[in-house]
């Protein structure tokens, strides 16, 4: 069908697309999609962080962060709490609802990943992960971009259909 690129770029795209699609389904109607998941994860797993810290970490514009958090807060998944040390900043804290929701999401994402990898034997899966890890480390070193997490949300931005 293609011969567009030899194969690497093309197959990489196919696999990536399948993965994004699967994770989109898994994330479902979470406010903010992939980015909502990233923020929720940070809120649950890490120390409470300021909005701007999250912006920098995930490469999200600060005005975008505002309405992403509006939505997440509207869904009672996180709350904005004034930072005691600096009343300019709001700390993003997960609610109990948010924790539960994240637990579900993690489970669903795990299944999604397994689904995408289902075409490979366990050994091949391990090999693939190892190779991608090596490559990612190399790419990260060569490209000191803010955060590679950004991809995930770059992608969320696409997904037209």
Partner DNA sequence: ACAGATGTTCTGCTCGACAGACGTTCTGTC
Partner DNA sequence: GACAGAACGTCTGTCGAGCAGAACATCTGT
Contacts with its own copies, residue ranges (CB under 8 A): 1-19, 21, 23, 38, 41, 45, 59, 109-110, 113, 116-120, 124, 127-129, 131-140, 142-143, 147-152, 154-155, 157-161
118, interface contact from its own copies, DNA, none, CB < 5-8 Å by kind: its own copies
Q: Which residues 6+ apart lie within 8 Å of 70 measured at CB?
A: none
When the beta carbons of 36 and 98 are compared against DNA, the nearer one is 36
When the beta carbons of 97 and 159 are compared against its own copies, the nearer one is 159
Separation of CA 63 from chain center: 19
Residue 39 near residue 48, CB atoms below 8 Å: no
Burial class (CB in 10 A: 0-12, 13-18, 19+), 147: middle
Q: Which residues pair with 94 in a beta bridge?
A: 78
Residues near DNA (CB under 7 A): 50-52, 55, 60-66, 69, 80, 85-90, 157, 160-161
120, interface contact from its own copies, DNA, none, CB < 5-8 Å by kind: its own copies
- Coil, strand or helix at 77: coil
Minimum Å distance from CB 45 to its own copies? 7
Q: Which residues pair with 91 in a beta bridge?
A: 50, 81
Minimum Å distance from CB 114 to DNA? 28
When the beta carbons of 66 and 140 are compared against DNA, the nearer one is 66
Minimum Å distance from CB 108 to DNA? 22
Minimum Å distance from CB 63 to its own copies? 13
69, interface contact from its own copies, DNA, none, CB < 5-8 Å by kind: DNA
Q: Which residues 6+ apart lie within 8 Å of 84 measured at CB?
A: none
Residue 23 near residue 65, CB atoms below 8 Å: no
Residue 58 near residue 35, CB atoms below 8 Å: yes
């Amino acid at each position: 069908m293609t011969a567009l690129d030899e194969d690497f770029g093309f197959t990489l795209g196919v696999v990536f697309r399948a993965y994004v699609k699967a994770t989109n389904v898994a994330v479902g109607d979470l406010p903010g999609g992939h980015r909502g998941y990233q923020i929720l994860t940070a809120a649950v797993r890490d120390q409470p962080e300021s909005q701007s810290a999250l912006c920098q970490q995930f490469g999200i514009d600060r005005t975008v962060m505002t309405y992403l958090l509006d939505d997440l807060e509207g869904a009672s998944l996180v709350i904005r709490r004034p930072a005691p040390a600096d009343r300019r900043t709001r700390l993003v804290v997960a609610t109990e609802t948010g924790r539960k929701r994240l637990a579900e999401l993690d489970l669903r994402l795990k299944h999604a990943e397994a689904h995408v990898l289902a075409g490979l034997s366990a050994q091949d899966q391990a090999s693939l992960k190892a190779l991608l890890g090596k490559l990612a480390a190399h790419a990260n070193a060569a490209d000191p971009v803010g955060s590679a997490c950004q991809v995930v949300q770059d992608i969320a931005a696409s997904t037209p259909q």
